[in-house]
Amino acid sequence: MRKNVVKILGLPILILTLAVVVGGCSLFGGSADEVKDNMFSALDSIENYAYTEDSSTTLEYAKDGETSETVTTTATKGIVDFTNQKINSDVTSTASGTTTETTIYIEDGFAYQLYSGQWLKMEMPSTESYFHVEGQKEMLNNSTIEVLEQSPMHLKVSPSKTYLGEKMLTEIVKGQPDFGDQYTVLYDQAITDADVEYWLDDDYRITKMTFTMTLRMDKDTVLPTAEEFEALGEGEYMIMTVSTTTNSTGYNSQEGIVLPEEAKNAQDVAEIAS
């Protein structure tokens, strides 16, 4: 069973960083509860916006006395149409010295991706986390809020480690659906650092968000739920460090997202796999 653990620990968490992209708000004065209430009101008013996001994920993995490290950086520029549940993003990723560029559209429950000149599509079981408004509400409901500065409004948001861990685990083990039944992750111990900060405009909308998190998974933080599931070995671990900066602009002033004609004939990934 250890091979399943190793496979899971090496998976990237691009979906997690997308799920915590900005939604909206700001407040000049008031308690943390008032800030939260005003943020929710602003989130409810969002129809669309543009965003840029720079993220870095470092994975350090150790097993049998050998240690390896991979760093993936991603730069994303796109538009979110929350009203019509559509997204258009251009993504540039660099890992192990290789840079890839791709264009992604999400609509009608499918993700369409232009990669190396070919359009592919994949059915999305749930696209909710990609539409950042709902994700922001959920995170705020599982966080404490501290006002650091009044003008411009600058907030520190401290999410529950259990919430972050469960949200992340849901995303990174999509290809390993049995993991949650076979292993328990002690998130309060595994997540050693988690920090979210917001900068807000006069209309209670987030203009900038930073997110950092460090997660350590080892024999003390990932426990098998039964004897037949093999635990991680002594000295075997994975440390994942995530850093993301997101800027949002042009609220409710973006043009509609139109799926390119050539993308409508995209090859279905499910057909390729079969």
Tokens of 200: 């807000």
Q: Which domains are delineated in the chain?
A: 2-273 (2.50.20.20)
* Three-state SS sequence of 84-153: CCEEEEEEEEEECCEEEEEEEEEECCEEEEEECCEEEEEECCCCHHHCHHHHHHHHHHCEEEEEEEECCE
Q: Is the pLDDT of residue 54 over 80?
A: yes
In this prediction, residue 131 has a pLDDT band, given cuts at 50, 70 and 90, of low
Q: Is the pLDDT of residue 15 over 50?
A: no
Question: What pLDDT, on the 0 to 100 scale, is given for residue 132?
Answer: 62
In the chain, % of residues over pLDDT 70 = 80
The mean-pLDDT minimum among 1-15, 225-239, 247-261 falls in: 1-15
At 30, the pLDDT band (50, 70, 90 cuts) reads low
**pLDDT (tens digit, 9 = 90+) per residue, 76-110?**
999 999 889 899 999 999 998 999 999 999 998 89
pTM: 0.80
Mean pLDDT of the chain: 81
The predicted pLDDT at position 28 comes to 37
User: In the structure, what pLDDT confidence band is assigned to residue 129 with cuts at 50, 70 and 90?
Assistant: low
Tell me: pLDDT of 27 over 60.
no
Long-range pairs for 231-238 at CB < 8 Å and ≥24 separation? Answer: 232/2, 232/5, 233/2, 233/63, 233/64, 235/62, 235/63, 235/64, 235/65, 236/62, 236/63, 236/64, 237/61, 237/62, 238/9, 238/10, 238/59, 238/60, 238/61, 238/62
pLDDT at residue 258 greater than cutoff 90? yes
Mean pLDDT computed over 100-126: 88
Segment 154-168 shows an average pLDDT of 85
User: Which amino acid is residue 2, in one-letter code?
Assistant: R
Q: Which pLDDT does position 141 carry in this prediction? A: 86
Residue 127, pLDDT score: 55
- Give pLDDT tens digits for 196-250: 999 998 888 989 999 999 989 899 998 888 888 888 888 999 998 999 999 999 9
Listed range (2-6, 46-50, 113-117, 230-234) with the worst mean pLDDT: 2-6
Share of the chain above pLDDT 90, in %: 39
